[in-house]
């Protein structure tokens, strides 16, 4: 996966500073370029989906999530109900199994089936707490027509866009940078973050202070 990602980044980096070459290459090799791009993107997304995104620190994250659920339990029942419902896509009634999926994911970044007995008990306790606050029990079972949005566990659902779309964005970015440079902006970088900055304009007498005596600030565009 790392090799594939490096190849894609190298290609993007090469054409990013050569927008005209990118457009000409695309026009001359349009059919082949689109086919190769679609195949490469399909393979790239398959590799990404095979290795779910995990960035959790289980000790600190678990503490923060527990605190979130405890704070949520002090909210109005309607707000709790709305928040829980907002995590599901599809059709059907939200049942206990669906809410259990949500709580297990927020606590442990895992599916319910992967939890041990102690972890499952904590999930069950939080479920009872939520039900007690909203004043009703969720129906037993699980609505298969509902999908809990667990972006670190589920595969990537991507809307495909042709290569020409991305070449247009590269060209637009290049043109915007050209305009900014013509307006005295300079491209700078700090800790990997790139941004455009223009020094404060000189006031009368060559001062960089405003009329009220305050120091003028540079204009920054990120």
Mean pLDDT of 74-97: 88
**188, β-bridge pairs:** 195
Q: Which is it for strands 146-148 and 219-221: parallel, antiparallel or unpaired?
A: unpaired
3, two tokens: 């090799």
Rg of the chain over CA atoms, in angstroms? 26
Mean pLDDT on 28-55? 76
pLDDT score of 1 more than 50: no
Residue with the larger pLDDT of the pair 6 and 35? 35
**Is residue 116 within 8 Å of residue 63, measured between CB atoms?**
no
Contact indicator for 110, 54 with CB cutoff of 8 Å: no
- Taking Cα atoms as reference points, which of 18, 8, 6, 9 lies closest to residue 39? 8
Q: What is the pLDDT of residues 195-222, one digit of tens each?
A: 888 877 665 555 555 555 566 677 777 6
C-alpha–C-alpha distance, residues 68 and 3, integer Å: 38
Number of neighbours of residue 109 by Cβ within 10 angstroms: 20
Give the pairing of strands 193-198 and 186-190. Answer: antiparallel
First to last CA, the chain: 29
Instruction: State the pLDDT confidence band at 58, using cuts at 50, 70 and 90.
Output: low
Give the pLDDT confidence of 113-137 residue by residue, as tens digits. 989 999 999 999 989 988 888 888 8
* Amino acid 208: pLDDT: 57
pLDDT of 209: 58
Q: What is the pLDDT of residues 131-174, one digit of tens each?
A: 888 888 899 999 989 988 887 777 667 778 888 888 888 888 88
pLDDT tops 80 at residue 13: no
As a whole-number percent, the residues of the chain with pLDDT over 90 amount to: 10
Q: How far apart are CA 74 and CA 200, in angstroms?
A: 49
Higher per-residue pLDDT: 107 or 30: 107
* Mean pLDDT across 45-51: 71
């Amino acid at each position: 996966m790392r090799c594939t990602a490096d190849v894609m980044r190298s290609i993007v980096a090469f054409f990013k500073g050569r927008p005209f070459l990118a457009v000409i290459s695309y026009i001359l090799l349009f059919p082949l370029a689109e086919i190769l791009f679609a195949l490469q993107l399909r393979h790239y997304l398959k590799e990404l989906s095979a290795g779910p995104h995990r960035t959790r620190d289980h000790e600190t994250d678990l503490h923060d999530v527990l605190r979130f659920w405890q704070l949520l339990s002090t909210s109005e029942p309607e707000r709790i109900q709305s928040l829980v419902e907002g995590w599901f896509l599809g059709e059907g009634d939200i049942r206990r199994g669906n809410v259990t999926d949500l709580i297990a994911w927020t606590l442990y970044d895992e599916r319910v089936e992967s939890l041990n007995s102690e972890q499952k008990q904590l999930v069950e306790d939080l479920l009872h707490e939520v039900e007690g606050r909203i004043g009703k029990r969720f129906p037993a079972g699980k609505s298969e027509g509902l999908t809990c949005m667990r972006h670190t566990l589920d595969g990537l659902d991507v809307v495909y866009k042709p290569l020409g779309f991305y070449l247009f964005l590269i060209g637009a970015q290049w043109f915007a940078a050209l305009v900014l440079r013509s307006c005295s902006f300079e491209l700078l970088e700090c800790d990997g973050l790139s941004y455009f900055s223009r020094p404060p304009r000189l006031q009368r007498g060559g001062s960089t202070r405003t009329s009220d005596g305050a120091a003028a600030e540079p204009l920054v565009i990120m």
